[in-house]
Amino acid sequence: MATENRYVAVSPQEDVERGEPPVCEPELWVELEIERPPDVDCPVAGLSDTEATGSVQLTGDRCHAHLSFSGDDVTVYTASVEDSCACAGVCGPGITPVDLSVEDGILVVRAYVADRDRLAAVVDSLRESGEAWRLRRLTTPDRNRTVEAGLASQLLGDVSITEKQREAVQTAIAMGYYADPREATLGDLASRLGVSRSALSQRLNAVESKLVESLAAEL
Torsion, CA 5, CA 6, CA 7, CA 9, rounded to 10: 120
For the chain, give me the number of helices (H) and strands (E)? Answer: 7, 9
CA-based R_g, the chain, Å: 18
What type of residue sits at position 92?
G
> Which ranges of the chain would DSSP assign to H, the alpha helix?
86-89, 116-129, 141-146, 149-155, 163-174, 186-193, 197-216
Domain 149-216 CATH class label: mainly alpha
Residue 6 identity (one-letter amino acid): R
Domain with CATH 1.10.10 in the chain: 149-216
Q: What amino acid is encoded at 9 in this protein?
A: A
List per-residue pLDDT tens for the chain, 219 residues long: 333 333 333 333 333 344 444 445 788 888 899 998 888 888 888 898 888 888 888 887 888 899 988 766 888 998 888 877 888 777 777 888 888 889 889 999 988 888 888 888 888 888 887 788 888 888 877 766 655 444 455 556 556 778 888 888 888 877 888 776 778 888 889 898 999 888 888 888 888 777 766 655 555
Q: What is the pTM of this model?
A: 0.58
Largest CA distance in the chain: 64
